[in-house]
Chains A and B, each alone.
Chain A
Amino acid sequence: MTERSDPSGEQPTPSRLDRGPLREEVRREIRRLHQLSNRGLWGLAIFILISLGAQRNFNFLPTFSEGARAVLGAAPPVKLISIALVVYSFSALVLILSRMMGGTETYRGWAHLGYLSGFYFFYYYAEALPDNFWAVFAAGATILSLEYYAIWSYCSEAIRTEKELLGKLED
């Protein structure tokens, strides 16, 4: 970004020259916050892609051979997977809400993406994915939307503060 010319034609004072790196740092911080805010959208987009595959019961993947099933062992009971999903959703929502209250800038969407894919996998392995797809999808959509909202509201707030600071530096 180029330095603005002083309309008064006066030579800039040393203190004003010193603000250049500071302004650049603020701009960098704004860019970083924008990127951080977009992570939530990326997380949601990847989850939707995985869900599209799950809705088709992962029919594009090869089925488990008898040997693979023998190595992996029996699938856990579907009721246990469902109970685990309820417990996971509840604790994830409570943690996100408490993080939102604390106002931290951490994004845990990637970890949730892994857990939710795990639930899809377990239901798929137990041959109960078509019956339970919507439960995992609703849980994922809620958790990742809330994660996105948390990071987006934190970043919006921080970007506003940084822009105010930038405005003051450019005055």
Chain B
Amino acid sequence: MRSIAAKAVVPVAVAVTGFVVVCCILLYSFIKGDMLNSAIQREVSLAGIIVKSTRYAMLHDDRESLRNIISNIGEQSEVEHSRIFNHSGLIVYSSDPEEVNQLVDKKNAGCVGCHEKEVPATNLGPMEQARRFANEKGHHVVAITAPIYNEPSCSTAECHFHPANLKVLGTLDIGLSAEPLRATLATLAWRMVVFCLMVLVLTVGGVCALLRRNILLPITNLVAYANAATRGNTDAPPPGGIDEIEMLGQSLQSLALRLEKKDRELEALRGRGGEPVPTRPTPPDTFAD
């Protein structure tokens, strides 16, 4: 961990990758929330369309038509369930015939939103009407409970009578499969993982390549030059590349030349005096290590 490459690459790689991962996770969370909200809005609209489509049949107390409408809606591939229950919680129409005439538990996820207080709430926002769960088949479902409100035409209809003070006559409960949404989110997650890996490779690769080209190679050349100069070979020019390395090389060269000159002068002086000239100690090759 003492090399320049490790010291430069590790902090950059950790900081960039970590930050990109945090941003990707939060971005994924934002996109997931937005897509879920959009799916819920669409379901709320769909529930409104169904309630409007059944209005005429309800006004005329045409139970057979209502049964057929709910049953046909339930046959659609992405519809997990569709049912209408009255204000007492009794399921009157359902895409699953076995559910008809059963009571809905008011403590269930879809009901507690309105029924958690003693006096049930009659108006809920679109997000409060939605619930997410896995049904008995193990399918993930996004379900909407849309209230069917009392209207003057309902309370004054001849066929059947609803008291005018009853605000909610019943509830449409429709659940759509969340599998397409989950598949889209899974694809998005994989794409983000690939993006993170690409950012990591590019960052680490880019820093490594720049370090190798601008720092490591000039330093290696300088080490080779210093070793050669230590052995007395000063013929080669000092290495270039970057200004600092070039200046260091030139300093080394002038140092080696001065040492060579002093050696020659010493040799000449001792030669004249008839004394034996001591040989220069062999320098260790420490630079190469």
Are A and B bound to each other? yes
User: B29-51 vs A: 1/0 string, CB under 8 Å?
Assistant: 11011000000000000000000
Contact: A145 with B14, CB < 8 Å?
yes
Q: Which of B1-43 contact A (CB under 8 A)?
A: 1, 7, 10-11, 14-15, 17-19, 21-23, 25-26, 29-30, 32-33
A141 nearest CB neighbor, chain B only:
B18
Q: Which of A125-170 contact B (CB under 8 A)?
A: 131-132, 134-135, 138-139, 141-143, 145-146, 149-150, 153, 156
Q: Which of A68-102 contact B (CB under 8 A)?
A: 78-79, 82, 85-86, 89-90, 93, 96-97, 100
Q: Count the A residues whose beta carbon is within 8 Å of the partner chain — how many?
A: 26
Contact: A131 with B29, CB < 8 Å?
yes
Contact: A89 with B11, CB < 8 Å?
no
Q: Of B1, B17, B22, B32, which contacts A89 at CB under 8 A?
A: B22
Q: Of A79, A96, A138, A153, which contacts B25 at CB under 8 A?
A: A138
Check A93/B29 contact, CB under 8 A, given A86-B23, A149-B10. no
Contact: A146 with B22, CB < 8 Å?
no
A131 nearest CB neighbor, chain B only:
B29
A90 nearest CB neighbor, chain B only:
B19
Distance in Å from the Cβ of A146 to the closest Cβ of chain B? Answer: 5
Extra 14 A-B pairs, beta carbons < 8 Å, given A89-B18, A142-B19: A78-B33, A82-B26, A86-B26, A132-B25, A135-B26, A138-B21, A139-B22, A142-B15, A143-B18, A146-B11, A146-B18, A153-B1, A153-B7, A156-B1
Interface of B toward A, CB cutoff 8 Å: 1, 7, 10-11, 14-15, 17-19, 21-23, 25-26, 29-30, 32-33
The 9 closest A-B pairs by CB, nearest first: A142-B18, A135-B25, A138-B21, A139-B22, A93-B15, A82-B26, A138-B22, A135-B26, A134-B25
9 residue pairs of the A-B complex, CB under 8 angstroms, read: A90-B19, A135-B26, A138-B25, A139-B18, A142-B17, A142-B22, A149-B10, A153-B1, A153-B7
